[in-house]
Structure 1
Amino acid sequence: MSIVIENVNCSRNNYAILHDVSLQIKKGEVMGLLGPNGAGKTTLIRLIAGLARPDSGRILVAGENTAGRSKHFRRLLGLVPQENNFESELTIEESMICYARLYGLSNPRQQVAAICDRLQIGEWRQKLPDKLSGGTKRRAMIARAMLPEPEILLLDEPSVGLDPDMRQEIWQLLRFLQEVGKTVLLTTHYMEEAEALCDRIAFLRGGRLLYTGTCKGLGRYISPDSGMTLEDAFVELSHGPLMQEVS
């Protein structure tokens, strides 16, 4: 397994965010993390990335406990947040070179140029972030996360706010990452995105993991004979009465 989450509980300011969450993500798998706003998806991403610690339970990334955040662990995993966090006064290339140096990569300029060309943003790398479209900035953020060649990528709402053409470009990039063997965990509110990209999904509501399985299986889980679409199932599970969790 690439990621193992065991009985994780997390609270902030005496408010419980995650309740006894357990989940396993296989190497090379694309897992979608679904749920309504406030379900705990971003918190879980932060815990996996080692940016916060659970109150109890443990998280292993490629067998290494996230609580340690060793140098090896930091290179195992690439994080792409929902918000653009490029430095506004630096070009994309300059920002990525700084990032490469922080990771101690040899020949940072050459490696930045190579990853930009690989992900087809080479022609934009000399521009400032505010001169780029939302889709190009998102591609650049994914390129930056891939600089240390991580085994695992965490993407928080990778195509939020993008028009359909830009969203399709991000989907093609995520398919490429899967083809080269990366493990991907992404949060999304787009049901068509989950159906198009994810091998499996995990559904959170109120900090509890209610379902783990395929997209098609979610509709059958809620109503076996209804032929329910994933979007209908999402709405039902987001607002309907809570049911037994299932794997």
Structure 2
Amino acid sequence: MSEAAAQRAATTYDRVLLKISGEALMGSLAYGLHPPTVARIAQEVKTVHDMGVEIAMVIGGGNIFRGLSGSAQGMERTTADYMGMLATVMNALAMQSALEGLGIHTRVISAIPMDQVCEPYIRRRAVRHLEKKRVCIFAAGTGNPYFTTDTAATLRAAEMSCEAIFKGTKVDGVYDMDPKKFPEAKRYDRVSYDEVLLQNLGVMDASAIALARDNRMPIVVFSLDEPGGFRGILAGQGTYTIVHA
């Protein structure tokens, strides 16, 4: 068996959605994009792509603008949310550039039409891109205000028939309290959707968790800062928490 075939045989999932926050692209910066960090995450995606896994992505926009915080400062909420959606398009284009620099065919697909820079969202076309092993980066959330990119990620994962949502964070799973503040925090290996909602564990917002539960979509929470962590989990290794029924 060739090395590529051996990698493929070890893969746990065939099609997944990777959800990362906009803040994950900041690196050591206070805001904006840190190109070396974008390149590092793109390399992590490439290692999974090389295993033959079909990958969709949703990236938040909090490194540029967060609609909820904008509305908290007096801006009208709908306008603030649309600004946040546009920020996700900028992040998606940056990730597309990094991935294509590694030789991976990528499509940015926006819920808000902007034909000059990305494709409009058409479900059947997006599925076909995945089947052709192109990485699809879904931008502009759901296209509607009052919905987070967590909800958009769960919605797109369901529409694309993904087998799991992988949420890359700063920690290696779900804890009962912030492990950076409380060393005694307990990490869960497995936790149910209902427990996440009941204990307010902060995996994703409540709408996203409820949508994942309704579609029986497992959520794998892992550390994006751990080199090789994304690939390792797909190969059945590593440390993570799985949210399930």
Whether the TM-score (by the shorter chain) exceeds 0.5 is no
Q: Which has the higher strand share?
A: 1
Larger gyration radius, structure 1 or structure 2: 1
TM-score (norm 1): 0.32
TM-score (norm 2): 0.33
Question: Using CA pairs below 8 Å that are at least 6 residues apart, which structure has the higher relative contact order?
Answer: 1
